[in-house]
Amino acid sequence: MSDVLQLTCDLIARPSVTPDDAGCQALVARRLQAAGFACEHLRFGAVDNLWATHGDGDGPVLVLLGHTDVVPPGPRDAWASDPFVPEVREGLLYGRGAADMKGSVAAFVVALEAFVAAHPRHAGTLALLLTSDEEGDAVDGVRKVAEVLRVRGQRIDWCITGEPSSKAVLGDLLRVGRRGTLSATLAVRGIQGHVAYPEKARNPIHQAMPALAELAARRWDEGYERFPPTSLQISNINAGTGANNVIPGELQVLFNLRYNPNWQAARLEAECEAVLRAHGLEYDIHWHRGGEPFYTPEGELRDAARAVLAASAGMPPEESTGGGTSDARFIAPLGAQCVEIGPVNASIHKVDEHVRVADLEALPGLYRALLERLLA
């Protein structure tokens, strides 16, 4: 069994459902310390974070970014094998986190060990940042560590995130940015009453529907460079007592915006609330800013990533800003250029999550090739 396959299996065997790291970072730290890395454990609340560095700091700072937490497996009997007992079948490694993203974490470690062994006096600083809070609220993970690094004055020039980004073949997609995410919890106040006497009540459902329809139908922009247009999606609506003869006193709505660099969160909040006010709603709203959009322009990092992925996949990669969010959204504001490179995204968060063993065994070489181009 290859080193990267064995380490991935060892990580999968630790049931690190958010925010429990379950010993994954300690395992990684032991290996990296033996390779000469300085390892710092940063625990905030129930979340574990690992900041491991190698180099004297003279030159660019390159961070490999990942997470050790996984989403819950769901019903165990729906899996063909135990989600936390890694198993190889027909060239595929099965287990929760195989693709998202314990395989990438293991590949990071193997690549880092090999690179510093070959280049003990490499240029700049090489770092690994891991968290156990990527799949959850993302409050005490990379968001908090990034603030610590900012206060320390820690510069980051380049960041490579190991999220599963490939589409069909390892290296066929290079993610060069991500949309911002903004979530709202809206409560529209009405007056409860009997449905037979609507003049004595105020139905918050009826009042809110035109405003919600306007927000959902709005064309926010036409996109931005490689970004798709900004979109608003209503995800939850709840009201009523359960009885069909009672006008509810309150309507609760959850919605989310995924937005490109045409916008900032504060502007979107103001635009949405202007619509609510224009429709005369009495409301309370709580906003959660999940992260601003980021975009990595042409430059040394993108050039290196493009060349390495083209060599791996046999064709130039698609360069995309699609998908959801990643923890790179917290690193980009520190001034870092960020890209995302990882295995095929076909089974993440699903029953029987898996990764191709051949892809897994190719990942350390791919990451090391990037390190060679940037820091050797």
**Catalytic residue set:** 69, 134
Can you list the alpha helix ranges (DSSP code H) found in the chain? 3-12, 24-34, 103-118, 142-152, 204-217, 265-278, 300-313, 328-331, 357-375
By C-alpha distance, which of 178, 197, 143, 174 is closest to 331? 143
| Distance linking the first and last C-alpha atoms of the chain | 29
| Residues linked to residue 268 through DSSP beta bridges, in sequence order | none
Can you say whether the dihedral through the CA atoms of 60, 64, 65, 69 is positive or negative?
A: negative
Neighbours of 227 (CB within 10 A): 22
Task: Kindly state the DSSP code that residue 166 receives in the 8-state scheme.
Answer: B
Can you list the alpha helix ranges (DSSP code H) found in 62-135? 103-118
Residue 71's alpha-carbon distances to 67, 130, 340, in angstroms, are: 11, 16, 20
Read off the tokens for 342. 């990882």
Distance (Å, whole) CA 57 – CA 257: 39
Residue 83's alpha-carbon distances to 92, 98, 106, 171, in angstroms, are: 14, 10, 18, 26
For residue 111, what are the contacts with CB-CB under 8 A and spacing of at least 6?
Answer: 363, 364, 365, 367, 368, 371
Using DSSP, state whether 317 is helix, strand or coil. Answer: coil
> H-helix or E-strand containing 301?
helix 300-313
